Each structure stands twice: as structure tokens, then as C-alpha cells.
Amino acid sequence: MNAFALTLPIALAVAGLLLAAHGAQAAPADAEVAQVHVVGQMPLRAACPTVDLRDLADDLAPTWDDAVKPSAVEVNFKVQRHHVYEVRPATDLPRVRHQIRHAVHGLACDGGDDQTHSVRFVVRFVGNDSRLAMIEVASAESSR
């Protein structure tokens, strides 16, 4: 396999993540207002401000082989200060669940106060006949 064939899937995954991140940041004010009414709910970016979606996608890359494609896995977890716990990926596949939990536990998060905050995001596994992998991480609100 040549270098181009190896870097193309990574480049496509990064492009998809950047588009998802840009779309989440460019959401209209109405979407932000709707989030305020959900008690304790925080978007991934607010709970883990230093998260790099490309790094998270890299951490989730081994998961792609085991995941059903196309599919979306909603991930819920709690954060209190810097403590990430109760990571619950909504999948019945044990290896996918374990790999997502491992990646989320590795995130550097900060809830900002002593309260427990619920965080939700979606991981989308996209595939096609040419086996190009793409993992997209998006806020749960943008997937509705």
C-alpha cells in the first residue's frame, strides 16, 4: 500500500471532525438557549475544553474495525471537577463499548465547579466499499 492510500483515510477523518467541530461552534444562539434548559447537561467542548477532536478520533480509530458501519453511538458520562466517571456508550458490542470507555476516561475534563455534570456526545462510524474509515465526534444536540 502506498503512503497516499494510508494517509487518505486519516485526512478524511480529520476533515470530518473539523467540519463537525466547526458546525458545533457555529450553532445559532437558539440552540445554545435550548441547552440551558437541560439541568446539568454540558456539551463536550464545555466539559473538556482542551479536547482535540483529532486526538479523540485517533484514540477511537481501533474501534472502527469492530463497529457496525454506518452507525452512531451516543456516549454519556459524568464529570465533577477533573474526575470523569460513569462512561456509558450506547452500544451492545463489548469491544466497541470498552474502547470508547477507555478513550473517554483519558480525556482531560474540567466541570468548573464541585457539581456533577452530565455530558453527552455522539460518535459516528462511517464506511463504504473502499474501506475508508471516518469517525465523527459531534455534540448530541447537533445530531438531532
pLDDT digits 0-9 by tens, 42-53: 888 888 888 888
Q: What is the pLDDT of residues 62-108, one digit of tens each?
A: 888 888 888 889 999 999 999 999 999 999 999 999 999 999 999 99
Domain range enclosing 43: 3-143
- With 0-12 CB in 10 A as exposed, 13-18 as middle and 19+ as buried, what is 26? exposed
Q: How many domains is the chain partitioned into structurally?
A: 1
CA distance 61 to 16: 14
Residue 26 has pLDDT above 90, yes or no: no
78 within 8 A of 84, measured Cβ to Cβ: yes
Q: How confident is the model at residue 38 (pLDDT cuts 50, 70, 90)?
A: very low
Its pTM stands at 0.65
